[in-house]
Amino acid sequence: MNMIKRYSVHIFSLWIILFFSLSFSVSCTYDYFEDETNYVVYVPKANADLITDEYRIEDIHIYIYNAEMLERQRKASFPFQENTRMKFGNFNFRLFPVSYDAFCFANTEGIHFYDMASRKAGRFGLTESSGGEYHYPDSFASFSLEKLKPQINYPGPLEVDTAYFNKRYSGRICIAFKKIANLHSLLTYNNIKTVRIEATGVGTFQQMSLLNDSINTRSSSYTPSDKVIMELTPYQNPFGDFEFGIDGYFFPSLSDNRPISLRLDFLDNNGNFIYSFPVDIPKTLHMNETIYLGTDGLTAFILEINTPEQWNPEIVSGGDEGMGI
């Protein structure tokens, strides 16, 4: 009888040990996959200890893809006070151990994201205005992108990537003018208040599937007749003996290789039309690239600019930090 009791107590003890062992195992598994951070995107321009009026971002969108499907996403806006870690520029994620593609966007005001659950369907771009054309937002010059490729291992250390946001998504086109008064006597810097541009052959949205490096990324348009309207203010002495210049920001060149064409309408100080002529862009516009053109109103030609500072030092260069994302 005593032997039976001892045997029963022994069996009961084994069940207790097994129960706690299983509970501990489940708890560890749950903690790892559900509660613990194993990937961090660090953003210096969102770190409260580093940001200034000039060194900061206004918002951030992060999309992390496992192959083609969206695994995690995060959106936040300045001053990034959602939690203590975010306050210091850390955006934390829990990911299963595989490799990922992470796309981080900053300063996205006026840019709309659609169908981001998959890279194949996902896109971001402009919305059509009531007049049937498109307008780049004022913040488009600072719309920035970082592409990261985290590899999550288990067991393994915390994986941390840094998104510096010092490269633009957009490309920049600068145009310098000289001797265009030969076309019309009022085409001088003092008489021109605004240059209105109607751009065709330009992107109005970006497919995530075509978002690659700076050289190979190509944008798309909703229709072949899409046009983007912008108004630019001229400035004096952009380069060499050119009298005045303008610059604007555009989506990278289209995937169908259509050239960018600009129709320039010159308006006087009272908003009255003076003259118009076209400028065709003679090369592909890459992401985070600046194309410098000179024109006399009859022909346009590439200007050889060795450093951004050669182009009107009073004009911000716009962050030409080199190619690549």
pLDDT for res 31: 35
pLDDT for res 20: 44
Dihedral angle computed from the Cα positions of residues 47, 49, 50 and 53, in that order, rounded to the nearest 10 degrees: 90
pLDDT at 320 over 50: no
> What is the per-residue pLDDT across 240-288, written as a single tens digit (0 to 9) for each?
999 999 999 999 999 999 999 999 999 999 999 999 999 999 999 999 9
> What is the per-residue pLDDT across 147-186, written as a single tens digit (0 to 9) for each?
999 999 988 889 999 999 999 999 999 999 999 999 999 9
pLDDT for res 190: 96
Q: pTM of whole model > 0.75?
A: yes
pLDDT for res 4: 47
Antiparallel, parallel or unpaired: β 205-207 and 123-125: antiparallel
> What is the per-residue pLDDT across 278-310, written as a single tens digit (0 to 9) for each?
999 999 999 999 999 999 999 999 998 888 788
> Terminal CA-to-CA distance of the chain, rounded, Å?
77
pLDDT at 23 over 90: no
The first and second tokens of residue 301, run together, are 């030609």
